[in-house]
Amino acid sequence: MADEDLATKAPESDAQETSGIAGDSKPDQGAASMGEHCTTDRPTPAGDQPTGEIAKLNDVEVYIAKPADYPHSPSKLLLLLTGGTGIHSTNNQLQADKYAGEGFLVVMPDQFAGDPATSISTTQTVPAEQNPSIIEQVKLGVASVAKSFTIDMWLARHTPEKVLPILLKVIAAIKEEFADAVAHGGGIYGVGYCFGARYVLLLGSEVHADVVAGQRSAESEAEEGMVKKDPQIKVGAIAHGTQISAADLAGCKVPLSIVAVEQDSLFPDDIREAGVKKLKENGVEVEEKVYPAVPHGFAVLCDYEDGTIKEKQKEAFGQLLGWLKGN
C-alpha cells in the first residue's frame, strides 16, 4: 500500500488490512480510536524534572533512564511504549524515570518517527458554554468531527507495518548496547500505555513483523514456515490500551498484567474479557484489574485535582511495577 493511500484512509479500514498479526487482530469496529488522554498531556506534577537522556539506538531516537547505581548494580531492561504524546512528553519521561528509580534500565523509543500525536492540530476554536446556541452547537459539532478526522489521519500514518519495524530495530540495538541488563532479566520486559499497549501485545506474540502488510492471514503464513518468531519480550504489562482486539490479547504468549478502566470505550469490556479468557485457556499467566471512576489515560504520570484519581494512579503503577519485578 502506498504511503499516500495510508494517509487518506480511516484507521478502521487500515486495521482491516493489517489483520494478519496474531490472528484476526482487527480493532473493535464499534470502539472509538483514541481519546484526549492519548494525544495530549495533562499538567506535569509541580517541581518534577526528567533525569534521563535522549539518544539514538540503530538510528531511532530513544529516551533512556538509568538507575542511579547502573552499571555497578545489575538491572532489568524495560522497553516502555508510550501513548500518542511520544518520547518528548515530560510526563512520559518522568514515567520512565519512575521505573528507573525502581531499578529498571528503561528504553523508551520514538514509535512515531518524529510525528507524535501532539504534532497534529486538534485545537477547538469554539469555546464550550453551558447552554450553547444552535449555531454554536453546530460549530462545536464541526470542530469535533474535524478533530476526530485529524486523529484518524494520524493513526493511519502509524500502523503496525510502520511501527513494528522501528521497535524491532531498537530491540536489536538494545541486545547489543545493554546486553548485561537483558541477560540479567533473562530477556526484555515491556510496558505499554494507550497506543503503546497494543505493541506490547504484538511483541509478546509469536507472529508479527513479517505479516503486518496484511496480504495474507497470520495462520496461512505461519503454516508455510515463513513468519513464526519467538516473542520479542519476556514479560508484558499494559495500561488502558487503544486499538486492541481480543485476538491481539489472545495472541500474547508472555505473562501479562492489565490495568483497565471501567466502561472504557477505547478498551471495551467485551474485548478485554474475551481476550483474557483466551489467554487463560492458553495457559498464559495473566492478571487484570479494572479501576472505576477514573478517566482513560489515568495511569500515565500527570497531575489530577481529584485526589482519588491520584491514588488510583499510584495503585496502577504499583500493580505494573509489582508484576514486572515479580516475573
> Tens digits of per-residue pLDDT, 40-85?
777 888 788 999 999 999 999 999 999 999 999 999 999 999 999 9
Looking at the DSSP bridge assignments, the partners of residue 106 are 65, 78
Give the lowest-confidence range in 27-36, 120-129, 282-291: 120-129
* Contact (CB, 8 A) for 264 and 240: yes
Q: How many CA atoms lie within 13 A of 210 on its CB side?
A: 15
More confident residue, 301 or 220: 301
How many other CB atoms sit within 10 Å of the CB of residue 303? 14
Strands 104-109 vs 60-65: parallel, antiparallel or unpaired: antiparallel
Task: Show me where the domains of the chain are located.
Answer: 3-326
Which fold would CATH assign to domain 3-326?
Rossmann fold (3.40.50)
Q: Report the distance separating Cα 289 and Cα 317, nearest Å.
A: 12
More confident residue, 327 or 152: 327
| Model pLDDT, residue 2 | 40
Q: Is the pLDDT of residue 22 over 50?
A: no
Q: Is the pLDDT of residue 30 over 70?
A: no
Strands 53-57 vs 60-65: parallel, antiparallel or unpaired: antiparallel
Tens-place pLDDT, residues 257-275: 999 999 999 999 999 999 9
Specify the pTM: 0.80
Q: Report the distance separating Cα 133 and Cα 127, nearest Å.
A: 12
Q: Report the distance separating Cα 84 and Cα 41, nearest Å.
A: 10
Cα–Cα–Cα angle for 113, 115, 121, nearest 5°? 175
CA distances from 185 to 174, 181, 275, 285 (A): 13, 6, 27, 18
Band the pLDDT of 319: cuts 50, 70, 90. very high
Q: Is the pLDDT of residue 304 over 80?
A: yes
